[in-house]
């Protein structure tokens, strides 16, 4: 009887944990962001000279990610109509 109660308690706890919603991703997560400004369909952050979106670094098609051009590491960049747009002049 005691074993049955213990097993039922463990199964109920596992059900509650598995039914909990996943945590909302932080700004620094590797997932691509879908709530992007500027009409971008997907956005990421400048990383050196490229736009880092999820696991990939994509070269900028429009603008630049360098600090000298007005971009810089951590600035938002994104994809619109298949083009990677970066914040710096370019």
Chain segment 32-79, per-residue pLDDT in tens: 556 788 888 898 999 999 999 988 999 999 999 999 999 999 999 999
User: Rounded CA gap, 52 and 65, in Å?
Assistant: 10
- The predicted model scores a pTM of 0.59
Of residues 44, 43, 87, the one with CA closest to residue 68: 87
Please tell me the predicted confidence (pLDDT) of residue 64. Answer: 94
The answer to whether residue 16 scores a pLDDT higher than 80 is: no
User: Rounded CA gap, 19 and 13, in Å?
Assistant: 10
What does the domain layout of the chain look like in residue ranges? 26-85
Mean pLDDT in residue range 18-40: 62
Chain segment 3-14, per-residue pLDDT in tens: 788 877 877 776
């Amino acid at each position: 009887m005691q074993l049955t109660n213990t097993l039922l308690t463990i199964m109920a706890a596992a059900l509650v944990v598995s039914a909990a919603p996943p945590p909302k991703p932080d700004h620094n997560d590797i997932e691509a962001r879908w709530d992007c400004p500027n009409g971008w369909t997907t956005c990421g952050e400048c990383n050196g000279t490229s736009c880092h979106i999820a696991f990939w670094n994509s070269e900028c098609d429009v603008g630049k990610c360098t600090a000298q051009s007005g971009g810089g590491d951590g600035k938002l960049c994104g994809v619109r109509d298949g083009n990677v747009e970066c914040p710096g002049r370019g």
